[in-house]
Chains A and B, each alone.
Chain A
Amino acid sequence: MSKRRPYVRPMAGWWRKNPFFVEYMIHEGSALFVAAYGVVLLVGLVCLAQGEAAWNGWLAAMKHPLALLFHLAVLAMISYHSWSWFKIMPKTMPPLVIGGKRVAPAMITGAGLAATVVASLILLGLVWGMTR
């Protein structure tokens, strides 16, 4: 009779056992904040469709100290999400060859982050210009 008795180890709590996995879970979790902010904007859009009173109510709600705190938290989480998203991006795309040379992963991450900053500044400028 075979003495083989392979032992299968449990997976419970796997993500707590390695700092790399903790970072991965924080990255995945930060996506919830991105979604939450999407919902806030969507509610704003619905209020806008409902008329002036609803829209002004939404604007007033956005100025509440708790709403400002929420925005700061979301900003921090979205910044982390963008940073970790672009960090993994070189691993998710085919090799980028420019001028016969393969573009380095750090260059791709850097370009993504730079594009995020530039796009955010343009958006901020536009909104600033329109609301003044």
Chain B
Amino acid sequence: MARTITMEVLRYRPEQDAGPVFQTYEVPFTDDMSVLQGLLHIKDELDETLSFRWSCRMAICGSCGMMINGKPALSCKTFLRDLAPGPVRIEALNHFPIERDLVVVMEDFIDKLERIQPYIIPKEPRTLEQGEYLQTPAQLEKYEQFSSCINCLLCYAACPQYGLNPDFVGPGALALLHRYNADSRDGGAAQRMELVAAEEGVFNCTAVGYCSEVCPKHVDPANAVNQNKTTAAADYFLGFLKPKGSRT
């Protein structure tokens, strides 16, 4: 006889609900079942109208982020056995508008991702004949952790400053911005500085630090954001020492 756990899932069907409401399901589970598998059981066996995003089931695609008992987490990486006896409360990621049930509107993040120029802007253009860009292990270490981001948005759901001011570029995009700035092959830091130091840039961060706590890939976005506060301040003050007209 399988054990069961109560899953309280936040539903929002724009065509019939005025606002989000919780719906309760009794879900049989085994020790190897993740919260995502619990939701899949609901979808397959109990209620086909439930909507949620998922793909890889192994914490690499970043699709299945949601609030589990009030904390942002990947549902594929959270196990029902650890939440027993329950009930387990599942909500759409905080700080994002709910499109439907557990699906959030993420256009805002995609837009921010584009604005940080998330690609290497070569420091020195090289032809094919000149060969590849070389990098030492020490240079790799400077940005490697920040390149582990899977865009799961848990850090945004953990950031009250983003919730209070959605203009804030936010932890995830700024961590990726830092990933490229810190890459020895990249020369785009000056171009990205305008956004770092902007009204919506790093100074919105008040070092709550919860983004780094919830990150499933140990990116430490709080560190990336705060390092760039120093960089932005240095850039501003050192700018006064530069000859007139040379400031970008």
- Report yes or no: B164 in contact with A6, Cβ–Cβ below 8 A: no
Cα A88 to Cα B70 with chains together (Å): 22
The answer to whether A7 touches B160 (Cβ under 8 A) is no
Contacts of B223 in A (CB 8 A): 90-93
The interface-forming segment of B14-22, B54-62, B74-82, B113-121 is B14-22
Q: Known contacts A24-B208, A91-B207: does B70 contact A7 (CB below 8 Å)?
A: no
Q: How far in angstroms is the closest Cβ of chain A from B222?
A: 4
Give the size of the chain A interface in residues (CB under 8 angstroms): 24
CB 8 Å contact bits of A101-132 with B (1 = contact, 0 = none): 01000000000000000000000000000000
A92 contacts B14, C-beta separation under 8 Å: no
Number of B residues whose C-beta is below 8 Å from A? 31
Please tell me if A63 contacts chain B, counting CB pairs below 8 Å.
no
Contact with B along A13-40 (1 / 0, CB 8 A): 0110110110010001000000000000
Say yes or no: is A3 at the interface (Cβ < 8 Å to chain B): yes
Cα separation A71 to B208 with both chains bound (whole Å): 28
B189-207 Cβ-contact flags toward A at 8 Å (1 or 0): 0000000000000000011
How does the 8 Å CB contact mask read for B59-73 relative to A, with 1 for contact and 0 for none? 000000000001100
Decide if A66 is an interface residue (CB 8 Å cutoff).
no
Q: Which residue on B lies nearest to A5, using beta carbons?
A: B14
A102 to B14, CA, bound (A): 50
In this assembly, does B47 line the interface, its C-beta being within 8 Å of a C-beta of chain A? no
Check if B8 is an interface residue, CB within 8 A of chain A: no
Do A11 and B164 form a contact, CB below 8 Å, given A3-B14, A94-B230? yes
Which residues of A lie under 8 Å from residue B220 when comparing CB positions?
91
A94 touches B227 (CB 8 A): yes
**In the complex the two chains form, what is the Cα distance from A4 to B15 in whole Å?**
8
Instruction: From B32-40, B94-102, B125-133, B237-245, give the one contacting chain A.
Output: B94-102
Q: Which of B219-234 contact A (CB under 8 A)?
A: 220, 222-223, 226-227, 229-230
Given A9-B20, A21-B208, A93–B227 Cβ distance below 8 Å?
yes
A91 touches B212 (CB 8 A): yes
Which chain A residue lies CB-closest to B105? A6
Which chain A positions have C-beta within 8 A of B98?
6-7, 9
B209 within 8 A of A: yes
A24-B208, A94-B227 known; A7-B71 Cβ under 8 A? no
Within 8 A of A (CB), among B158-184: 160, 163-164
Give the CA-CA distance A20 to B227 in the complex, in Å: 22
The answer, among A5, A7, A11, A88, for a CB contact under 8 Å with B207, is A88
Q: Which of A4, A7, A94, A102 contacts B20 (CB 8 A)?
A: A7
Do A91 and B164 touch (CB < 8 A)?
no
Min CB distance B217 to A, Å, is 16
Q: In whole Å, how far is A43's beta carbon from the nearest beta carbon of chain B?
A: 29
Residues of A within 8 A of B14 (CB): 3-7
16 contacting pairs across A/B (C-beta < 8 A): A3-B15, A4-B14, A5-B14, A6-B14, A7-B20, A9-B20, A11-B160, A11-B164, A21-B208, A21-B210, A24-B210, A90-B223, A93-B226, A93-B230, A94-B227, A94-B230
